[in-house]
Amino acid sequence: MTDIAIDIQDLRKTYGDLVALEGLSLAIAPGEVFGLLGPDGAGKTTTMRLLAGILAPSDGSARVLGMDVFREADGLKRRIGYMPQRFALYGDLTVAENLLFFANIYSVSRAERLKREAELLAFSRLEPFRDRLAMHLSGGMKQKLALACTLMHTPEVLFLDEPTTGVDPVSRREFWRILYTLVNQGVTLFLSTPYMDEAERCTRVAMLNRGRLVRCGTPGELKAGMRGMMLEVIADPMREAKARLTALPGVHDVQTFGERLHVRLDTADAEAAVTAALDGLTLVSLRRIAPGLEDVFNALASGEGPS
């Protein structure tokens, strides 16, 4: 075995004229929690499906655990797990039946299955619901069951496509607790997410936009790479403040977070310039903040890559 769990080289996928993924190259070490970040249509699902061996690449190649994902898909299938974006279970089967079905399809031995089932039910806290039909579970429980189903055969690499989208915050936290348990067991995670706070939990993040890799590194590196500084402004009326700040020279972009505005700019005396620009409006608060991944991402999305 190599010390690279996922080795992606110049991976490309086109649908007719549409380039869904443009020459992606990444190397992911075993035990990493690798996050794929990008807006809708960035190519996250395409990447996942290519790596899971469902989709034939138009060009380039990818190896997982040293095996070619497309040409050696049959051998690889037992060693990886993939949870599609629209994770799905059989609603008319019970929790236990769903687990049993996937264990059987992966030819998991009976002894191993019983052990695994007990483990998974325990740490997903689904034990009390094992005889409930899956369609009668809550959203968060369904998602945990879907994860448990993909874990029945103890995969070494796990691909999760937006695993927590549409799940309430409490369930998300719970889900991450489970993911960390897996990482401690040595599983390599490759997941995509639209949530910045989730990206911050990753060891490394790749930012994808319109099929291109724009940035890759640890969350810290990405934030450090941001050009300019970040100011958080709370002013009233907010709309007027946003309009004025956007027009201010040296401002790259202004994003709204609830009642707060995040202003990214590189002006020498930023605070003074902002205060002057907001003359006549009520300035509630103004402070420097450290950029979050969200800001990095917005900077990317607004078309201006960080330096």
Partner 1 sequence: MNLHRILRLMKKELIQVRRDRRILAFLFIAPVVQLFLFGYAVSTDVNHVAMAVLDEDRTAASRALIQRFTASGYFDQVAYLSGQAEIDTLLDAGRAQMVLRVPRGFSHDLSRGRGTEIQTLLDGTDSRKARVIEGYTNGVVRLYGSEILRARMQVLRARLPRLPAVDARVRVWYNPELKSVNFMVPGVLCMVLFLITMLMTSLAIVREKEIGTLEQLVVTPLSAGELMLGKTLPFLLIGLIEFVLTLLTAIFIFRVDVAGSIPLLFVLSALFLLTTLGLGIFISTVSKTQHEATLTGFLFFMPFILLSGFIFPVENMPVGIQWATYLIPLRYFLEIVRGIFMRGVGLEVLWPQVLVLAVFGVGILALAAARFSKRLG
| CA 293 to the chain's CA centroid | 12
Q: Which lies closer to ligand ATP via its Cβ, residue 108 or residue 293?
A: 293
In order of 105, 117, 119, 122, 126, the CA distances from 112 in angstroms are 14, 8, 11, 15, 19
Binders of partner 1: how many residues, by CB under 8 A? Answer: 29
Q: Which is nearer to partner 1, 53 or 292 (CB)?
A: 53
Tokens 């689904």, located at residue: 126
**CA 303, CA 137: separation in Å to the nearest integer?**
42
Q: Is 57 in the site for partner 1 (CB under 8 A)?
A: no
Q: Do the beta carbons of residue 216 and residue 47 sit within 8 Å? A: no
Residue 52 sits in the site that holds partner 1 (CB under 8 A) = yes
Q: How far is the CB of 85 from ligand ATP (least distance, A)?
A: 6
Neighbouring residues of 111: CB distance < 8 A, sequence distance ≥ 6: none
To the nearest whole angstrom, how small is the minimum distance from the Cβ of residue 132 to partner 1?
A: 13
Q: Which of 37, 47, 50, 82 binds partner 1 (CB under 8 A)?
A: 82
Contact call for residue 109 and partner 1 (CB under 8 A)? no
Among 42, 76, 121, 254, binds ligand ATP (CB under 6 A): 42
For residues 41 and 210, the answer to whether their CB atoms sit within 8 Å is yes
Q: Please report whether residue 45 would count as binding Mg ion according to CB under 5 A.
A: yes
Instruction: Give per-residue burial for 53-63: e unless 16+ CB within 10 Å, then b.
Output: bebebeebebb
User: Among residues 38, 43, 84, 163, which is the contact residue for partner 1, using CB under 8 A?
Assistant: 84
| Residue bearing tokens 């960080």 | 306
Instruction: Name the residue nearer to ligand ATP (CB basis): 15 or 257.
Output: 15
Q: Which stretch binds ligand ATP (CB under 6 A): 12-20, 129-137, 138-146, 275-283?
A: 12-20
Instruction: Tell me whether residue 45 or residue 188 sits nearer to Mg ion (CB atom).
Output: 45
Least distance in angstroms from the C-beta of 267 to Mg ion: 38
- The residue among 59, 84, 37, 70 whose CA lies nearest residue 213 is 37
- Binding marks (x or -) toward ligand ATP, 66..105, rule CB under 6 A? -------------------x--------------------
Beta carbons within 8 Å of 159's beta carbon, 6+ residues apart: 48, 51, 52, 80, 81, 82, 83, 190, 191
Q: Which residues make up the interface to partner 1 (CB under 8 A)?
A: 52-54, 56, 74, 77-78, 80-84, 86-93, 97, 101-102, 104-107, 149-150
Residues lying near Mg ion in the complex (CB under 5 A): 44-45, 85
